[in-house]
Amino acid sequence: MGLQNISKLISPSLLNDSALTKALGEEFVLSDNGNIVFHWADFFETCDMIKNRLENDPLLIQDFKNCEIALGQLHSIPVWVKTEKKIFQSNMFDLYHQYIVNHSKLLGSLDPYCPFEISFISGTGPFKSMSIVECFNKTIYRDFVLMYLIQGKLPRRDYRIRLKSKILFEYGSDLSSVELVSLEQLTLNGMLFSIDSEVFTKKVSASQNVRILINHNMLSDGRGKNLDELKLHLSQYAFNLLYSSSKDDGIMCKVNDFSVQSAFDFARNKKVFLFVPYDKLASSHPAAIKTIKEFVAHSKMLVCDHYLNSSKQKSA
């Protein structure tokens, strides 16, 4: 297969502007600038709502079949991965599938983040040094995940909201070192952060404790508000959502309490995700954790009301 044909198949336009793309791309925005959003894929109840909507809409059913066919074309893109001991032959569909469903068993447990010699032409090359995850396209990866969620091939999550927020980690023996990290998600059970892999491995992980600085007061007044009121409230913090440099906002956390998972952000950066349960933090700053948990619960109520009302309107 020529490189021109390969580029067409791995470009981010498999589904184009279909009704399915619009349905599966739906986000519920909690702040006008998009700093806090909910996506239906992040809650098992809304997954079921979307699935029911697909099953009762002939146009969406056909689009979903087209999606399966389009992604199935990736079977026709061969890939050879050359290691020191062996050359593995696979195809792009299987690489996406194995990575999404089970990271640890990619071509015989190869590390998908390590560089290998990879070719799309033949088992004799030409080869290019790159990691397996660098072969992935962000949009196609998203389509796989959403399709697998609908098909029940991936476990469904409990409720969470996505954030675009930068907050400070203080670490080191005297907590004098500082790193700006991303607060990615707030869930009903804990918080998810992301940080550059090298920074975490060489710096933060060597510490026993981390002080997380979060201005929970920004969320405090958001509890109990309707959607329009909440958006207006959060608009005050468009550029500094939850950011704080005050020690009074510090939440102490043991580094060993983080669940760590490597990830690839499609901007060719390797980072790690750090999840910490609220019950590991509550004793350090009970008021902050209580406020965060109550805000997440309130946002869940707003989301459920939105999707329930939306479902009733579409069935009317």
Lowest mean pLDDT among 70-74, 166-170, 274-278: 70-74
* pLDDT per residue as tens digits for the range 59-90: 888 888 888 898 999 999 999 999 988 999 99
pTM above 0.85, yes or no: no
Cα dihedral 305/306/307/311 (nearest 10): 100
Q: d(Cα 63, Cα 146) in Å, to the nearest integer?
A: 13
State the pLDDT at residue 46. Answer: 87
Question: Is the predicted pLDDT of residue 12 greater than 50, yes or no?
Answer: no
Cβ within 8 Å of residue 166, ≥6 positions away: 180, 181, 182, 183, 243
The amino acid sitting at 254 is: K
Q: How many CB atoms lie within 10 A of CB 68?
A: 12
- 37-41, 188-192, 311-315: range with highest mean pLDDT: 188-192
Helix (H) / strand (E) containing 90: strand 87-91
State the pLDDT at residue 101. Answer: 87
Cα dihedral 303/306/308/314 (nearest 10): -140
State the pLDDT at residue 312. Answer: 58
Q: d(Cα 269, Cα 267) in Å, to the nearest integer?
A: 5
Q: d(Cα 6, Cα 230) in Å, to the nearest integer?
A: 46
Beta-bridge partner residues of 186? 161, 191
Structure tokens at 194: 């992301």
Domain residue limits, the chain: 44-151, 160-315
Please state the φ and ψ torsions of residue 95, each to the nearest 5 degrees. Answer: -65, -45
